[in-house]
Structure 1
């Protein structure tokens, strides 16, 4: 079995477990994550933090994003621009939100495009070494590579439920490991070796 097909199988299995979590339990777990990490995530005043609005059965990190904004973070949301490229548009309170595809809404084209130094990332699978499997389109991989090409080293925090953890993700050379993972059990930091 190739790494790609194994990742697809693991993704399908773990997302099915996530989908099986009752909606009210997902809300409670999402609120617990905001309480667990709202003050624990290290941010500087004005730091640009990319979050996301939930689709399907993803963790709802809007309460966490609100906490980070109250601590001085400048928020952005990822917008898939041309089916390949994510741009991060500034999320400003009171600004109109538009349909941004993939079943979500976000800031429109008039919003400023920002380069975040912290990415809160949805994912399908993770392990205790900080490896992750996304949704298979490579959007975040390309966005991270673009930030690296600009000389940035954004911190990457995966957002998931405990049921999405496996023993070992089949990591490939192009995969960028997470700095931390946030689940309903807490925020876990990983040691990341410099490349």
Structure 2
């Protein structure tokens, strides 16, 4: 089986497990994640943090984003520009939100495009080495590559539930490894 096909199979399996988590349990896990990460993530005033608004059965990191904002972080959200590209638009209080692709909402075209210092990355599956499987479009891999071409090296923290961990993610050359992953069990940092 090709790596791409294996990734698709793992993606389906892990997303089905995530979907099976009862809604009230997902809310509980999301709040726990906000508490655990609020203490473990070092965020300095002015630091730009990219979060996301949840779609489907993703963890809801809005409570975490609120905690980071209260500590002085500037927030942004990913916006789908085209089939190949996402940009990060600044999220400010009171701004109108618009449909931004992938079934989510975020800041409109009038919002400033920024380069994040920390990316909270949604995913389908991850392993103990920091490899991840996204949703298959490659948006984050390409966005991270563009940031690195600009000399930027944002911290990459995956956001998932424990049930999304697998023994091994089939790694491809274009895949970008995570520094850590946040689940309802806490923040796990991966060693090189």
2:109 aligned with 1:106:
no
CA distance in 2, matches of 1:33, 1:56: 18
1:128 is matched with 128
Cα root mean square deviation, aligned: 0.7
How many residues are paired up? 192
* Alpha-carbon shift at residue 137 of structure 1 (Å): 0.3
Q: List aligned pairs for 1:38-77, cutoff 5 A.
A: 38-77=38-77
2:166 is matched with 166
CA distance in 2, matches of 1:122, 1:12: 15
1:118 is matched with 118
TM-score w.r.t. the length of structure 2 is: 0.98
Question: Could you tell which deviates more after superposition, 122-131 or 168-177?
Answer: 168-177
TM-score w.r.t. the length of structure 1 is: 0.97
Moved over 6 A (4+): none
CA distance in 2, matches of 1:38, 1:178: 18
Q: Deviations over 1:114-144 (max 9, x none)?
A: 0001000000000111110000000000000
CA distance in 1, matches of 2:52, 2:179: 18
* Alpha-carbon shift at residue 161 of structure 1 (Å): 0.3
Contiguous gaps of at least 5 residues in structure 1 = none
CA distance in 2, matches of 1:168, 1:67: 32
